[in-house]
Structure 1
């Protein structure tokens, strides 16, 4: 059995629910109308017998202007004056002879033996009973009649089956209209479901294209409903995926290139190593250990950047920004012989990961130490500005080449060829800032004295003051 699509399941569900609702409405309508018909029939029987009693008690014979002398005459006058309602017959059973009636003839009723027997059974006490003949139902009321020395019976017969035949016709019409309504509703539901699910179908087709390797595919978003929001979210996810894949490919390419050099060095020195020369062995060992340390640092930095994508990379807690600033400065003094100064420290308690922020400031401090010489000044500070907290590291060194400023925070970007690092330090700082929902920027160079070009650099962490989580 083939699996039904979502559109087919929605259409079938709506059609089923509509059918159940119409069936319940139809059954309720039939029950209500059946009770109404039964009440109408009973009221008609009571009304006819009541009118006969009124004639018997209050009227006189129109011929003699005297009370009715016989039951047969009373029955005759009543039948002459009254017309039965629809599906109803009025019978006069005289004291002798055949009964007469008023209303449409009913051969089944007139030929039956059960009907006269029922009237005879109620001729003395009167009452109401139900009679079934040839699959038809009748409701019969018998009223004993006495006038003078004669006895008779006044009988009202209502054809219940005939009254309910109108209801059956109504229910047949209702059933046909209900079936037509279900078909129309199912068609409209299928059409509406197709339109509503069109974005989902495009999403599936786009996802299929992505599975085939096309990360550039995007959904065309139209509308402002929930499905449109889903499309926008899907497009945002594709943007992040494409960026992640591009970054991952770039990282693998760059890491492969960076690892290839020390591996080549290791392989080359091992090939020419003279095992019989102790000095050569010692020198080669020292060189190889240095290269292994470099690779270990590279792997550690790459792992750090990989962890930056995890939600638990930072654990914000209330942190004293002033204490963080002083602590970073105290730790940075051991990096190099420079003039370390405190530019300022803001007094504030903010939700930050103190260890990561300290790590970022020390990384910036180490970067500043590499590009300065003894006697140069390196300053560390913090402040609240424009609704954000800013922490910075500045130096009076050689500054940053304007040519590399656009990609200075990219992975494996180096400030100059003499830098013996891997170019991952500023990338780590940027990852820490982004994990706090902030950023890191390089301030534009300030103009020097007497028109001389400015020196030094200022790297600034800009973080929100709210809870980054």
Structure 2
């Protein structure tokens, strides 16, 4: 196989044959990808990326070095041609060469070819004049070489020979002539040595790349196993957790993304555990409180003498009263159950001062007391007006139960520093220190006054409403005596400043 290449002296034309290979793809494996572990996928992706990167680097180096070899050979050919063109004077006579054979003989005598180069001169179809070369007569007897020399381009050029014996050989023919004779200088370059050196370098690179790939894959497998170990622990823990066993937690190690995920899941488990415990307590408390009225209903119905009209009428009144109590209990429990729902509140802008005055007017109907307004906020806030009204009136009703006619009950509000405060103050006996933590619990009650038919859910509802607003409720001693219940709600104020109203 031969191709023709022109040097800088003439236009070069080359024909390169590139073998093509077919490739087939197997489309059966994507469905099985979900069965492969994450660790294997990570290691496989790293190995593939490293293999592609190293292969790309190797191919790039090969292409660059091959181009460098061709560029160096071209420069060497151009240099030989330039030196040959500069030889115009015969050193013996000091006159221009009148014989092509003499000119070629002087050039071949002066120029010593490189290790992978051979210079051959032809004059008037005579026996070739040549210098030292690594292959000698064997190259001259190569049929491809003889064909390149016998039929060169008209203005000279380079022919690339793919010889089985010598590898890639570039044969450059430089024609020369004068009025009496003609000939040519043939520059032969052997690229096999350069290619063998390049292939040796690439073979070493491939071996090092394979060893590096194996090392990196091993390290990736070990490191990915360490990184994914918390996920395996998380999966095992999640498998063991049930609705009745939420107390387990996942060990937290390190300070990376997986540790953050572990911490988040532990917090979620804590919330779930608290939610389930709250539900169990709620059901236990509700069952306990409903048990008494149901027992009363059953007992009276079992002992009822249906033939006695007076007893039937009396029992009917008593049962209706118990049903009303159960309805109130169910209503209170429903409010507590809804307090954790996102739609429990319907917040909106509310003038806190006007709301305070309205609450005082509504509270006056709860009992014959000395109702007062301590202070009224000036400004608007974002709260659920109905729920806040429910909470404050519940505190007012509680104050009525613990005071006597003529005692003082006061309401007040303030708005400052992004905090809304609403309070109910009474002059009753107050709340003992040891009871202040329990009165806000469900069915938790302090001192029960005669005639108090509550269930101990009122203050729980108040606390649920305040917590839904993101605030808090507290009880302390009032001045000079009594109890002071204060609601603290974080909010955005428009204007603030308490306004005493006497």
TM-score (norm 2): 0.83
The 5 A counterparts of 1:42-441 are: 42-55=74-87, 57=88, 59-62=89-92, 67-68=96-97, 70-95=99-124, 96-98=126-128, 100-105=130-135, 109-122=139-152, 125-134=155-164, 136-146=167-177, 149-211=180-242, 213-384=244-415, 388-417=419-448, 419-441=452-474
Mark the CA change 1:327 to 1:107 in structure 2 (over 3 Å): closer, same or farther: farther
User: How far did 1:61 drift?
Assistant: 4.1
Partner of 1:451: none
Distance 1:112 1:230 in 2: 74
Q: Is the 8 A contact 1:108 1:134 kept in 2?
A: no
Residues 315 and 353 of structure 1 are in contact (CA less than 8 Å); yes or no, is this contact kept in structure 2? yes
Where in structure 1 are there 5+ consecutive unaligned residues? 449-453
Map of 2:487 onto structure 1: 461
Distance across 2 between alignment mates of 1:82 and 1:292 = 125
Rounded Cα–Cα distance in structure 2 between residues aligned with 1:236 and 1:245: 14
* Contact map agreement 2:112 2:131 (CA 8 A) in 1: no
Q: Deviations over 1:208-259 (max 9, x none)?
A: 3433843222344444443333333223222222221221111111111111
Q: Secondary structure at the match of 1:416?
A: coil
User: Could you tell me how far 1:423 is from its partner in structure 2?
Assistant: 1.2
How many residues are matched?
457
C-alpha distance in 1 between matches for 2:307 and 2:153: 143
Superposition deviation, residue 405 in structure 1: 1.8
Instruction: Flag structure 2 segments of 5+ consecutive residues without an equivalent.
Output: 1-31, 494-502
Matches of 2:150 and 2:53, distance apart in 1 = 49
SS at match of 1:11: helix
Compute the RMSD of aligned alpha carbons.
Answer: 2.6
SS at match of 2:176: strand
Q: Normalization by structure 1: what TM-score?
A: 0.89
The CA deviation at 1:457 is 1.3
User: Following TM superposition, by how much is the alpha carbon of 1:318 offset from its aligned partner in structure 2, in angstroms?
Assistant: 1.9
Question: Do 1:92 and 1:100's aligned partners in 2 also have CA atoms closer than 8 Å?
Answer: yes
**Secondary structure at 1:333 match in 2:** helix
Q: Is the 8 A contact 2:438 2:445 kept in 1?
A: no
Does the 8 A contact of 1:123 with 1:152 survive in 2? Answer: no
Describe the superposition over 1:314-346 as per-residue Cα deviations: whole angstroms up to 9, x where unpaired. Answer: 232221110111111111112222221111111
Q: Which residue of 2 aligns with 1:7?
A: 39
1:404–1:108: structure 2 CA closer, same or farther, 3 Å change rule? farther
Render the CA deviation track for 1:173-216: whole Å, top value 9, x for unaligned: 22222222322222333333333334433433333343384322
SS in 2 for 1:197: helix
Give me the whole-angstrom Cα distance separating, in 1, the residues matched to 2:153 and 2:379. Answer: 108
User: Relative to structure 1, is the Cα distance of residues 161 and 282 closer, same or farther in structure 2, using a 3 angstrom cutoff?
Assistant: farther
Compared CA separation, residues 85 and 310, structure 1 to 2 (3 A): farther
Distance change (3 Å), C-alpha of 1:233 and 1:108: farther
Further displaced range: 205-214 or 339-348: 205-214
Determine if contact 2:350/2:385 at 8 Å carries over to the other structure. Answer: yes
The answer (yes or no) to whether the contact 2:430–2:477 under 8 Å persists in 1 is no
CA contact under 8 A between 1:61 and 1:67: conserved in structure 2? no
CA contact (8 A) 2:121 2:129 kept: yes
Q: Tell me how far apart the structure 1 counterparts of residues 458 and 474 of structure 2 sit (CA, whole Å).
A: 14
Change (3 A) 1:12 1:466: farther
